[in-house]
Amino acid sequence: MKAIVKTKREKGLELQDLPVPVPRDDEVLIQVKAAAICGSDLKLYNWEPGCEKVFPNLPVVPGHECSGVVVAIGANVQNISKGDHVAAETHVPCGTCWQCLHDRPHTCENMPLFGHNIDGCFAEYAIIPCAAARKVPASLSFTQAALLEPMGIPLRAVLDGNVKGDSVVIVGAGPIGLFATAFAKIMEAGQVIVLDVNPKRLEYARAVGADYAIRPEGDQIIGEINALTKDFGGAGIVIEASGNVEAIHQAVQYIRVGGHFFMIGHTDLPVSFHPSRDIVKKEISIKGLFGRQIWETWDTAEEILVSGKLDVTPIISHRFSLDQFEEAFQTAFSGSGAKILLLPE
């Protein structure tokens, strides 16, 4: 089978011909129908700092956002059959640690990560551990099903934020920010403001319903947000999907007293706050979100897709075959795309 493989601890990926894997007792084998590129795949491509930890075992087949058709199942697999359509959850819970036993399998202490420290889906076939295989209705397209994973975290932020009628600021208009924007509109936010430095991404934000899509110019953005959110007493909910230190610092300044700050963007750089001024006296709640609640978030995301309320079309900017992976990744690096799909067929 064709597979994209990370073989060396340096920049680049390669297309290889690998044997089709055979599922073990607790695994299913899928024929991959749609896969999507995530920001973490770009970090892997470039072998950025931190990759040593996240991708300890090379060679590895990257890719973790996907859907496909089950073509073989292991001996112990019960609820999934050949021919079923499935999507993959990236966080593979162990089922026995404290987190797993306390209804938090998405933050399992021992979890392998699909497409990180176990092989993923940028290939014609992929093995999914059954603890991470999500059966999806055949009425969903494979593209929709492949996007259930990346839409999960922004969906959690919007649901936890209780956005109805309130002012929402979404920082970063990459695919995660775009999903957050679309969900905030579906959940009837009073006002959705999206910030990004990339004008192309601001166009995508408008296409998914942003009321305002703004390119921030330094700290001026604080005054601009304050003016726009005046009728709401300020920005009630901020969803930080950029991982940009300056943007995070600005957000704690324009967020409303008593506001909710959801951090879903990643950075390993430190951010400094004045705890008294920025957090305590403002009674800001800060919540990090990592992963999807298994399977509650999936149930809700699936319901929204089946209902037809979420149109993913404006969020998908490009489609490539596995042979064109280099072009797909270069398009992703260029910042001119939104969600970029790899379609094995």
- Footprint of Zn ion on this chain (CB under 5 A)? 93-94, 97, 100, 108
Give 65's strand partners. Answer: 36
Q: Give 97 or 271: the residue with its C-beta nearer to Zn ion.
A: 97
**CA 330 from chain center: how many Å?**
19
CB of 5 to Zn ion, least distance (A): 28
Q: Give 89 or 240: the residue with its C-beta nearer to Zn ion.
A: 89
Q: Give 108 or 241: the residue with its C-beta nearer to Zn ion.
A: 108
Inter-residue contact 160 to 184 (CB < 8 Å): no
Q: Give 58 or 101: the residue with its C-beta nearer to Zn ion.
A: 101
Q: Give 93 or 291: the residue with its C-beta nearer to Zn ion.
A: 93
Neighbours of 340 (CB within 10 A): 21
CB of 112 to Zn ion, least distance (A): 10
CB of 35 to Zn ion, least distance (A): 26
The amino acid that residue 36 corresponds to is A
Cα separation, 33 vs 26, in Å, equals: 22
CB of 93 to Zn ion, least distance (A): 5
CB of 108 to Zn ion, least distance (A): 3
Q: Give 100 or 169: the residue with its C-beta nearer to Zn ion.
A: 100
The amino acid that residue 232 corresponds to is F
Listing DSSP states for 221-250 in one string gives HHHHHHHHTGGGTSEEEEEE-S--HHHHHH
CB of 107 to Zn ion, least distance (A): 8
Listing DSSP states for 51-76 in one string gives HHHHS-SSSB----EEEEEEEEE-TT
Q: Coil, helix or strand for 82?
A: coil
Q: Give 131 or 238: the residue with its C-beta nearer to Zn ion.
A: 131
CB of 295 to Zn ion, least distance (A): 15
The strands making up 255-263's β-sheet, listed across from edge to edge, are: 212-214, 191-195, 167-171, 235-240, 255-263, 285-288
Q: Record the tokens describing residue 282, joined without a space.
A: 């403002």
Cα separation, 312 vs 182, in Å, equals: 9
Q: Could you give the angle at the alpha carbon of 342 between the alpha carbons of 340 and 344, nearest 5°?
A: 165
